[in-house]
Structure 1
Amino acid sequence: MSKIKMSKNIVLIGFMGSGKSTTGKVLAQRIHYSFIDSDEFIESKIKMSISDYFIQYGEDQFRSLEEDIISQIALTSNTVIATGGGIVKNPNNILNLKSNGIIIYLKGSPEHIFERLKYDTTRPLLNTENKLETIKSLLKQRSPLYESASDIIIDIDNKSIDEVVVSILERMRGKAI
């Protein structure tokens, strides 16, 4: 595979469970970029899990904190950034990330995401009676935001992480970054 000349960040957005962190790590290794998981970065700053922070302070307080952290992370370069699933709820996050990044939406169907998350109890927004219906409802709200924020959309259904990474690299060859 020929080397892609880049300097901007590569920002992965998408619903929780879409593989942003795992894909981001593999992609960063492959193109010799740094890697930042925004959720892990936030947890290291607040010294607690995001789930616990949600419980203690609520989603609004978390989104404010997330915006501050994203504005810092967006200043990096040559970095693959995996974002939290709700990052698109705040337009300032997208503006900050686009200032020095190409945004890639890892798009998965509700059923695919459900299969990945059905036993996951660490996602505060999915601790509901019917996880699949919650995923469908949240995706209905967020999909237009993911799509309008993205420069590239990659379908992840029934693809391995390596296949997703190859798809990203192929699509990026056509983008001036």
Structure 2
Amino acid sequence: MVSVVSLVGLPGGGKTTVGRQLARRLGARFVDADHVLEERLGMPIRAFFEQHGEPAFRDLEERVIDELTAHTGEPLVLATGGGAVLRAPNRAHLRDRTTVVYLRSTPEELFRRLRHDTQRPLLQVADPLSRLRDLHAQRHPLYEQTAHFCVDTGRPSVSMLVGLILSQLEQAGCLPHGEDHVGDHASGPSAAPT
């Protein structure tokens, strides 16, 4: 049975929103790695980026991912930061210690959601859509390499996404069959295991 489900994907892909609802359906604890990082930093991630740069942030993120994926207690749903997969140790810890679901989104879909966002440091640029395309080109192969399952986020509701994830976890033997929380599954070709 699965102990930790980790969600990966680009900024704005729904990792926190989907993660919270998935945790409720599984009766698991929800942890957002970025929130843990901000607690440790004592400031917003954007401010830390501006003051100390991205490498210093990634160093701390690597330590936090190591800690969170070593979790062996009650069931946990972990939402990771969009750049967590950039470091090989993070990819290895996520892939080897947790069941990883890639919430796959197109840059255009993300731009529609994030065009007014002022908090994500990597998107505070003159052309955020171009930046999202660059991030997608860089990170998409890493997400696919890390993930056990991929789920397209261009679906009409969070509850459908959560149902699809639960269905994939159950079919893979990661959840007990016939549990009440694994009901009303959506299905489709976009949920192909990787």
Name the structure 2 match of 1:110: 107
Residue 174 of structure 1: how far off its partner (Å): 1.9
Question: SS where residue 104 of structure 1 aligns?
Answer: strand
Q: Report the equivalent of 1:32.
A: 27
Contact 1:74 1:99 in 2 (8 A): no
C-alpha separation between the residues in 2 aligned to 1:158 and 1:11?
Answer: 20
Q: TM-score of the superposition, structure 1-length normalised?
A: 0.94
1:127 pairs with 2:124: yes
Further displaced range: 92-101 or 133-142: 92-101
Query: Alignment partner for residue 23 of structure 1, among 18, 24, 35?
Result: 18
Contact 2:4 2:99 in 1 (8 A): yes
Work out whether residues 18 and 106 of structure 1, in 8 Å CA contact, stay in contact via their aligned partners in 2.
yes
Structure 1 regions of 5+ residues with no counterpart? 1-5
- Once the 2 structures are TM-superposed, how far is the Cα of residue 74 of structure 1 from its aligned partner? 0.7
The letter of the residue matching 1:94 is R
Please give the root-mean-square deviation of Cα atoms over the aligned residues, in Å. 1.0
* Separation in structure 2 between the aligned mates of residue 7 and residue 151 of structure 1, nearest angstrom: 12
- Whether the 8 Å CA contact 2:94–2:146 is kept in 1: the answer is no
1:154 to 2:151 alignment: yes
The one-letter code matched in structure 2 to 1:10 is V
Q: Tell me the CA shift for residue 99 of structure 1.
A: 3.0
Deviation per residue, 1:81-138 (Å, 9 max, x gap):
0000001100101211233210000001111101110000111111111111110111
Question: Is there any run of 5+ residues in structure 2 with no aligned partner, and where?
Answer: 175-194
Structure 1 CA distance, aligned partners of 2:12 and 2:156? Answer: 14
Query: Which residue type is aligned with residue 110 of structure 1?
Result: P
Give me the whole-angstrom Cα distance separating, in 2, the residues matched to 1:119 and 1:101.
33
* Aligned residue-pair number: 172
Structure 2 CA distance, aligned partners of 1:125 and 1:157?
A: 22
Deviation string for 1:59-90 (max 9, x for gaps)? 00100000001111112141000000001100
Given that 1:106 and 1:154 are in contact with CA atoms closer than 8 Å, whether structure 2 keeps it comes out as yes
Shift of 1:171: 1.0
Separation of aligned partners in 1, 2:20 and 2:138: 28
